Amino acid sequence: MDFELKTLNVAAAASEKCDAIVLLVGEGFKPGKDALSALAGEALKARHLETKPGRLLQAYRAAGIAAARVVLAGCGDGSGKRVQAAVQAAVGALRTSGVKRLVICLPADAQEDAVRAAVSATAESTYVYVATKSKPEGRELERVTIAVADATRHRAAFTAAKAAANGIEFARELGNLPPNHATPTRLGEEAKKLAKAHGLKVEVLGPKEVAKIGMGSFMSVAQGSDEPLRFIVLRYNGAAASEAPVVLVGKGITFDSGGISIKPSQDMDEMKFDMGGAASVLGTFRAIAELKPAINLIGLIPSCENMPDGRSVKPGDIVKSLSGQTIEILNTDAEGRLILCDALTYAERFKPRAVVDIATLTGACVVALGGVRSGLFSSDDALAQALLDAGDTALDPCWRMPLDDEYADGLKSNFADVANVAGRAGGAVNAAKFLQRFAGAYPWAHVDIAGTAWKSGGAKGSTGRPVGMLVQFLIDQQGTAPPKAAKAGAKRKKAA
Ligand code: BES
Ligand code: MN
Ligand code: ZN
C-alpha cells in the first residue's frame, strides 16, 4: 500500500479524485465554506455527528465532494491516541467496500502524533494475512493520501511512520506464519533476503558454528528438535564505525511445546508466536534499512524449536552457558531465557552502547499487564526512560517493572550456578533477573512482549509489536550520547 502526505485544506481534499474520503472532526472543528466541512458542521449542529473518537457518520454521493463515499469521524482532542481510534473506526467501516483510493483529512491543527497515528492505524486495520490461504482475499486499499495543512512540517514524522508500518507488517507476516513454515531455517533465509534487498550485512550460523562458539545453553533447548537451530547476526551501519552500536536480541522460538515439561494442549498452537521477539527485530531492521538513521545497529536472533524427544534436555540437566555460568534446567518450558542468555553474552563483543532484548518470555507478564503494555525491565534509568518515551510516542507503550535483587533469590541451585526457574510468584521479574546475570557488561533492557506480540480469539494474529517502539527508540538515539552507564561499562560488573 502506498502512503502519501499532501498539503490540502478541506476544500482541496474534497475535490481530490478518490473512492472515499475520511474527514477527522475534532473538538475545535470550524466549518469553512466548502461542501465537505459544511456537511460536517451541519451534522455536528444537528447532533448527528459527535466529536467523540470512534463516532462515525457516513454519506454517499454528497454534493460538491469528489469521492462517492464520505466518512465523518470524531477524533476528540486530535491527539495521536484519538486519531488512532478514529482512523481504526473509519477505515474499518470502509473495509470490503472496494475502496482503492482513500484520502484521510486531518484536523487543521494536527500535530506530528496525529500524522503518525493516521499512518499506523490505516496500515494496521487494512493488513490481511494471505501467505497460506488457497483463495486469498486481497488488500483493497492501494493508495492512501494523508491531507494536512502543512506537509513540509510533518514530512519527517510521516516518513518514519511509513517505514515503521512496513516493519510492523513484515513482523506480523512472519509471526503469523505456521510453525511448519516459520522454522529457524526459514527465519535465517528471511534475514538473508532482507539483508540482500536492503543492503544490510548478515551472518546465519548453524549448529556446528554455535557449538564452536560454546553456546551450551542455547544448544540444549534445540537438541530435542529435528529442525536445526539458527543464530542470526544482522548489521546496519549508518554511523561512523567508531560509534558503539545498539544491539537488539530477539527470542526466536518458532514453536514452544514446553519440551519435556510439556504445555497443556489448549491454545498450544499460539506458541507459534513464540518467535515474536525475533520477528520484531527483523521488522525493525526492515524499517531502519528504509529510514537510514545515523546509528549503528546489530540484531541477534537465537532461533530453534522447543520439543519433547528422546534427545531433549530434561529437568535436572545442567548445561554450561557461553558466559561460563552453569545452569540447572528445572523446567524445560522456561526455554526463552536459555537461548537469550547466550545471545546476551555474545552481544558483549560489539561493545554496545545498549542492548535491548525482546521476548515472549512469561505467561506471568500477561497476567501482570495484559495486552496493553509490554513489560520493561532495565538496569539503566536513562535507557528505560528512552524506551518508555519511544513507546508512548509510537502508541506502542510499555511499563517499567522492578529488578530488586530479592527477586533472584528463588533462582538459587544446589548443583549449578543458577537455576532456570524460581517460584510462580513474580514470574516475569524472576525471568528478567535470570537474564540480568548475563547482561552485566553494558546498559541493558528487557522487553517482555508475551501479552502484546499477538492477539487471541477471533482476532487471533500477530501485532508486530514492539516494532513501533523500537523504531522510534532508534530514531531518538541519533546524535545522542550513549546512556551514562555505558562509560561505566569499562569496569564491568561481575555477574553475581
Ligand atoms: N513462551 C512462553 C511464555 C508465554 C506463555 C507467552 C503464554 C505467552 C503466553 C515461555 O517459554 C514459557 O513457557 N514460560 C513459562 C515459564 C515458567 C515455566 C517459569 C511460563 O510463563 O509459564
Ligand atoms: Mn516455554
Ligand atoms: Zn517460550
The CATH number given to whatever domain includes residue 119 is 3.40.220.10
Give Cα separations from 55 to 2, 32, 145, 149, 155 (angstroms): 26, 21, 21, 23, 28
Question: Do 396 and 440 reside in the same domain of the chain?
Answer: yes
For ligand 1, atom 9, name the residue with the nearest CA: 363
Residue 160 covered by a domain: no
Looking at 109, 126, 152, the residue that finishes a domain is 152
Last residue of one domain, picked from the residues 107, 124, 152: 152
Asked if residue 59 belongs to a domain, the reply is yes
Does residue 337 have an active-site annotation?
yes
Q: Are residue 6 and residue 100 in the same domain, yes or no?
A: yes
What average pLDDT does range 79-108 have in this prediction? 95
E-state strands within 159-251: 201-205, 230-237, 246-250
Reported as a single tens digit per residue, the pLDDT across 99-128 is 999 999 999 999 999 999 999 999 999 999
Find the 267 Cα to ligand 2 centroid distance in Å: 13
Residue 283: C-alpha distances to residues 158, 278, 467 (Å): 18, 9, 6
pLDDT tens-digit series, residues 373-382: 999 999 999 9
Element (H, E) at 145: strand 143-148
Take residue 106 and report the three cell numbers written for it. 486531518
3-state SS assignment for residue 149: coil
Q: Are 216 and 303 contained in the same domain?
A: yes
Say yes or no: 284 and 387 in one domain. yes
β-bridge partners, 459: none
Regarding whether 176 and 146 lie in a shared domain, the answer is no
What is the distance between the terminal CA atoms of the chain, rounded to a whole angstrom?
50
Pair 407, 358: CB distance under 8 Å: no
User: Residue 466, preceding bond cis, omega within 30 degrees?
Assistant: yes
Catalytic residue among 153, 263, 320, 455: 263
Q: Which residues surround ligand 3, an ion (CB under 5 A)?
A: 253, 256, 274, 336
Shared-domain flag, residues 233 and 310: yes
The residue behind cell 521488522 is 283
pLDDT confidence bin for 479, thresholds 50/70/90:
confident
Question: For the domain that residue 224 is a member of, what is the CATH number?
Answer: 3.40.630.10
Q: Of 251, 337, 373, 437, which is the active-site residue? A: 337
Q: 109 CA distance to ligand 1 centroid (A)?
A: 45
Evaluate whether residue 165 is within a structural domain.
no
Tally the domains of the chain.
2
Shared-domain flag, residues 146 and 177: no
Can you name the residues that pair with 374 across neighbouring β-strands?
398
Average pLDDT score over residue span 137-146: 91
Instruction: Say if ligand 1 is within 6 A of residue 364 CB.
Output: yes
Domain-located, residue 80:
yes
- State phi, psi for 454 to the nearest 5 degrees: -150, 165
Q: What is the DSSP letter of 138?
A: P
pLDDT tier at 259 (50, 70, 90 boundaries)?
very high
Residue 371, SS3 per DSSP: coil
CB 176 within 8 A of CB 462: yes
Going by DSSP bridges, is the β-strand pair 354-359/444-448 parallel, antiparallel, or unpaired? parallel
Determine the distance separating the centroid of ligand 3 and the alpha carbon of 114, expressed in angstroms: 36
Average of per-residue pLDDT values in the chain: 96
Of the candidates 216, 111, 230, 126, the residue with the CA atom closest to the CA atom of residue 169: 126
CA of 177 to the centre of ligand 1 (A): 20
- What pLDDT is recorded for position 477? 97
Annotated catalytic residue 139: no
Mind listing the pLDDT tens digit for each residue in 31-78? 999 999 999 999 999 999 999 999 999 999 999 999 999 999 999 999
Q: How far apart are CA 408 and CA 24, in angstroms?
A: 50
| Residue 140 belongs to domain spanning | 2-152
Assigned domain for 293 exists: yes
Atom number in ligand 1 closest to CA 364: 21
The answer to the question of residue 370 being in a domain is yes
> Quick check: 346 pLDDT over 60?
yes
226 C-alpha to center of ligand 3: Å?
Answer: 18
Phi and psi torsions of 59, nearest 5°: -135, 160
77 and 200, same domain (yes or no): no
Ligand 1 atom at minimum distance from 430 CA: 19
Specify whether 7 is located in the same domain as 122.
Answer: yes
Task: Give CA angle at 382 (435, 202), nearest 5°.
Answer: 55
Domain annotation covers residue 407: yes
Which residue's CA is the closest to the ligand 1 atom numbered 17?
334
Half-sphere exposure of 386 (CA within 13 A, CB side): 27
CA angle 193, 246, 377 (to 5 degrees): 110
Ligand 1 atom 8, closest CA: 450
Residue 483: its pLDDT value, please?
A: 63
pTM over 0.85: yes
Q: At what angle do helices 184-198 and 276-291 cross, to 10 degrees?
A: 0
- Domain-terminating residue out of 122, 152, 182: 152
Report how far residue 41's alpha carbon sits from residue 123's, in angstroms, rounded to the nearest whole number: 29
Closest ligand 1 atom number to CA of residue 421: 19
* Length in residues, the chain: 496
Q: Which of 220-234, 283-297, 359-373, 469-483 has the lowest mean pLDDT?
A: 469-483
237 shares its domain with 302: yes
Question: Based on the domain organization, do 242 and 134 belong to the same domain?
Answer: no
Residue 124 CA to residue 53 CA, distance in Å, equals 17
Assess whether 77 and 196 both reside in one domain.
Answer: no
- The answer to whether position 246 is within a domain reads yes
3-state DSSP helix/strand/coil % of the chain, to nearest 5? 40, 20, 40
